[in-house]
Amino acid sequence: MTPKRTDAEDLLALALQHAALAVLKQQKRAEGDVWFTEDPPKLHRTLKDIRDRYSQAFPELGELSFSSEGAFPYSPELRQILGNLQLDGVIGRRNPSFDRFSPNIFPDTEQVVDLELKEFFGKDRDRLEAFLHLADELRERLVVRAK
Amino acid sequence: MNGPFDEARAQLLEAVSHLLHVEPPSSYRTPKIIHDAIWGTCEYDPWEVGLLDLPVFQRLRGLKQTGFAYLTYPAAEHSRFQHVLGVVQGASRVFDSLRRRAPVDGLSPRARQAKGGLPALTDDPVAARYRVLLRLAALVHDLGHSLLSHTSERIFSLIAPFPELIATIQTRYDKRPGAAEVMVYLLVTSRQWQEACDESWERGAGPGPPPTATDWERIGRWVMGIEPDGAAKFICDIISGPLDADKLDYVARDSYFAGIPVTHDLDRFLSTVCVDYQTDPSSGRSWYRLTLPIHRGINALEQLVMSKLVLFSYLYHHQKVRAAEATFERALAREYLTSKTIAGLNRVWDLFRVQDAHLYAMVDGYPGRLPAADVAYRVLPRRVAEFRQQDVTDEGSANEASQVREYRRLARLGRPKSWDAYKDLLAYEDKLASTAGLRAGSVVVDFPSDPDYGELESLLLPGRTPDEETTAKQHLSYSDWIQAYNKHRVYARVFSFGERRDRDRVWTVLRDDFAGRGLTLSPRLQIGK
């Protein structure tokens, strides 16, 4: 299978869903909310670090720019991606203070994620492995609560 | 910046250098008073008026500030020229307020404690020079706009050499400026521009030497939001930042001219805005940033955000405005993909010598000659369907993730960011049209993005003590409003040209297409049935 053309939004959408599923698996649950912090300094610093370290495996992360002229690196593209993911129903922000977001996990999310992994990476094991590390990092560094 | 910028600059000047001269040249010796609907009585220095008289500035009179909004709000005919004059005023008033209040509350507690002081505000000759440069930056900041403002920018940003120039800037500064901003940078860093400015400066008896090439390099970067010198970052923020003068002006101006009764309290903003000293612990670097204090500025910030949100709801996301903008954008994309011209122009640089009237001229006597121009005459498609993600997926169904995936695929199609993406979108729209028995270009699928609040999230608000700070997001629940707006008020729409029966056929085709994707277009989502 020829890998599908992806961009940063595709990659992050899939990584967030994959990370959320991993948390639910750890907790032996099929569904529920897995909240990622949306605290701007933490979110943007983490994604800048991820972009810098994974851009060789995923050149599409180069779409994210992080202004280095402020108290924390800030990416307008990342903000736009999260806005689009909300509009498209991939993430939800239904929490009291809107300082967190959660990938929407449905009964068939795991099948969809598996399908997209195949579409995105085909037989490219190296890229797939890099992706799994990236998703793990998102989980470890940004997940604030799962219930 | 050299390399690809030199070549681009030469090409640009070939197209626009004739706009940098006026005969006879202006000879103002005293400041000029201009009355503005938003800022009232405004004063402009003689060398500024000399520049304003150049055709390159006069061109801005013929560019509508809010694109096709005038088709819905007939009074929204205000121009980029008016906006530029307003931004000069807004920028000056922010700077003057900071200077006046620097000893008291124009500086945050942290900024007052920082070593080295802030000569850009407190040293009179230094501050006076910065003020001149700041006003010039405000004056030039929109010279890179073309037909119907942002609507054409989405297209020309994809035409060479803009993608390469933007990528080069990102490599160097980790920032992606808009193509219109890059165009300003190219212009003001050219020798021809600086000669024109020197002449205006001399005739207007500007104080001291005219701005140098280094000054113009800096002004060009400010317009792109770039200022590596931390001590001057707040000046750059006044031109391009979370609380820039651009925003102060256009929120007030767009609502005033559209006749939408919202506004924000500019006086309150000007009496609370301050400069804060901020450091990034990871890099050890520090900056003076333009911001608002938590305890006094939150109301001003709240008003600004709310007003902009209302403008999105009433104006920028109005269904007719979206129909016009999306149709115009498709027409330009289709034309470029077919003939490599843009609104009949052969070079991307030609866009920076024409006004909106160019479109009307294209229509005159040749109806249908240029679809992009027809839009200016309000030849618009009408709504067939209007929906949000939650309207077309079945909550709680066993295959909800698959449905969301399919919806997202459509939405991605409707937000093209490359020529390949435009090809995919046009192919999809034309397939819907041909299946409904209509000609190519008859159907437009529009998925708007959410309201853009720029770098507001990166704004740190200082407190009463040097240690106290918060982000705007933590302190003000503006993100609740934006996210609620996204969820409930941002609609995807499918538009179609033709008669009622044509739109009915498009509806049927669309409903079947959605059904094939596992999505449900219920009859309540059809418009005008």
Q: Hey, is the C-beta of A40 within 8 angstroms of any chain B C-beta? A: yes
> In terms of CATH architecture, what is B4-317?
Orthogonal Bundle (1.10)
pLDDT of residue A77: 93
Residue B115: Cβ-neighbour burial (10 angstroms; 0-12, 13-18, 19+):
exposed
pLDDT at B35 over 80: yes
Evaluate whether ipTM surpasses 0.85: yes
pLDDT (average), residues B287-292: 94
A86·B280 Cβ contact <8 A = no
- Determine the distance in angstroms separating the CA of B44 from the nearest CA of chain A, rounded to an integer: 31
- To test the contact with chain A by mutation, choose from B389, B457, B476, B519 the residue with the greatest count of A C-beta atoms within 10 A, namely B457
> Chain A to chain B, count of Cβ pairs less than 8 Å apart?
139
How far away is chain A from the Cα of B457, in angstroms, using its nearest Cα? 6
> Two tokens at A29?
């649950």
pLDDT band for position A1 (cuts 50, 70, 90): very low
Instruction: Give the type of residue at B126.
Output: V
Contact A89 B408 (CB under 8 A): yes
Max mean pLDDT among A60-69, B415-424, B476-485 falls in B415-424
* DSSP percent split of chain A into helix, strand, coil, nearest 5: 55, 10, 35
- pLDDT, averaged across chain B: 92
Comparing CB atoms, the residue among B280, B412, B417 nearest residue A72 is B280
First-to-final CA distance of chain A: 37
Span B446-458, average pLDDT: 80
Mean predicted confidence (pLDDT) in B340-365: 87
Which class for A73: exposed (0-12), middle (13-18), buried (19 or more C-beta within 10 A)? buried
Rank A9-18, B101-110, B485-494 by mean pLDDT and report only the highest. Answer: A9-18
Taking a C-beta distance cutoff of 8 angstroms, is the pair B44, B200 a contact?
A: no
Give the pLDDT confidence score for residue B303 in this predicted structure: 87
Per-residue pLDDT, B366: 55
Of all residues in chain B, the percent with pLDDT exceeding 90 is 73
**Which of B236, B450, B453 is nearest residue A87 as measured by Cβ atoms?**
B450
What type of residue is B325? E
For residue A102, the SS3 value is: strand
Residue A63 CA to residue A69 CA, distance in Å, equals 18
Distance between CA atoms of residues A88 and A138, nearest Å = 21
Measure the N-to-C terminal CA separation of chain B; round to a whole number of Å. 57
Q: Using alpha carbons, list the distances in angstroms from residue B166 to B160, B169, B179, B187.
A: 10, 5, 7, 15
What's the whole-number mean pLDDT along residues B20-35? 88
B192-220: average pLDDT: 95
How many CB atoms within 10 Å of residue B514?
21
Do B208 and B215 form a contact (C-beta atoms < 8 A)? Answer: no
Phi-psi region of B340 (alpha: psi -120 to 50; beta: other; left: phi over 0): left
> Is the model's pLDDT at B220 over the cut of 90?
yes
The pLDDT value recorded for residue B511 is 98
Residue A93: predicted pLDDT = 77
- The domain spans of chain B are 4-317, 319-450+485-525
Chain B touched by A106 (CB under 8 Å)? yes
The model's confidence at residue B488, banded by pLDDT at 50, 70 and 90, is confident
Please give the pLDDT value at position B364. Answer: 63
Contact A86 B282 (CB under 8 A): no
Question: Chain A partners of B398 at a C-beta cutoff of 8 Å?
Answer: 107-108
In A, which residues are within 8 Å of B279 by CB distance? Answer: 71
Q: Is A56 on the interface with B (CB under 8 A)?
A: no
Q: What is the mean pLDDT of chain A?
A: 89
